[in-house]
Structure 1
């Protein structure tokens, strides 16, 4: 190996963050016409309207979406997870009219390995295919890769939710396998795991393998799960 090649390899190695992350703290994210606010009890009325909009809680591939009467308890559980340091959760607010239009979380945190999953997401039926889902994921991926310096972000999408699968593909995520059967998803191969990685792992600096252009282009979305 030449000195130049060896030096380049050493430089790429230094570019990959390896120290475990400390506890993640709630933060407000803003851009592309929406705002992600740390989830709070004050968001309950808005989220009750969200799940009633299009009756998204009745979708067979979205068992994580609570019925309107169950939203308060769901928010309490999610905020307890945040307090425990096992999750970050946000209400999605449309800035044009300050209306709550959805919810999303960072979950399954693997801070020692710098990985997490974006999930437990749901959006009001009236904002599906409007660009809100792409904008939200853009903010979350930017925060994960550029600010938290994560190396891996995962999505899990029900195999019947073709619109969400297309939206995740448009972000540059790669399919890595199917999830195991669970009590909430009793059929085999019910969910597909997708992964997007920071390109720091392959030594290309501070870029990432997902496409920021998808905010404008990825309109084939549902926001119903993932």
Structure 2
């Protein structure tokens, strides 16, 4: 499995994450409160370095493909995302660990980025399923994933510890390979 991939369209460019990206990600990381809904903490420069190290270790092990996200129009880095929990035997992976600058939210940028990732997962990697796991309380992210055409498959109750040792429940969404063409035609028609 190739973990050194780049994905792009007219607006979005996803490039392989490297240790050298810590400096350009740090200003965006300071806008985030990832611990509000997730288990990752990037609240200090050192914690961001550890977050990147973890992503790169998982990539070396074939368990993830982490990216840095660029806005090609503004020519600036706007965040990070990844394919994770990659299961080549069962052809299932997760899209997540996504954080983008506040200025990029609500602009359609995330939608285009997810299209690139879904397209690659189904049409290049030939995976059978893409999953998303989102804190039950994170309505913004849940709505964004629902706009992609993902189906809520269930809720894992109190399965992840987040900020202040709160045990969140995770909404499990999925898109199946056989659903992809219809979703692509209806949800991403402008990009194909």
Alignment of 1:1-226 (within 5 A): 23-52=1-30, 55-57=31-33, 60-69=36-45, 70-185=47-162, 190-199=169-178, 207-211=180-184, 213-215=186-188
Judging changes above 3 Å, is the alpha-carbon distance between structure 1 residues 101 and 172 closer, same or farther for their aligned structure 2 residues?
Answer: same
Shift in Å, 1:44: 0.9
- RMSD (CA atoms): 2.2
Q: Which has the higher contact order (CA 8 A, sep 6+)?
A: 1
What 5-or-longer segments of structure 2 have no aligned partner? Answer: none
1:47 touches 1:100 (CA, 8 Å); kept in 2?
yes
3-state SS of 2:161 partner: coil
* Distance (whole Å) between structure 1 residues aligned to residue 44 and residue 56 of structure 2: 17
- Deviating runs (4+, > 3 A) in structure 1? 185-189, 211-217
* Distance (whole Å) between structure 2 residues aligned to residue 36 and residue 58 of structure 1: 20
Shift in Å, 1:213: 5.0
Shift in Å, 1:58: 5.9
Decide which structure has greater strand share.
2
Q: Give the TM-score of the pair, scaled to structure 2.
A: 0.87
2:62 touches 2:86 (CA, 8 Å); kept in 1?
no
1:32 touches 1:135 (CA, 8 Å); kept in 2?
no
Shift in Å, 1:72: 1.5
* Distance (whole Å) between structure 1 residues aligned to residue 27 and residue 145 of structure 2: 26
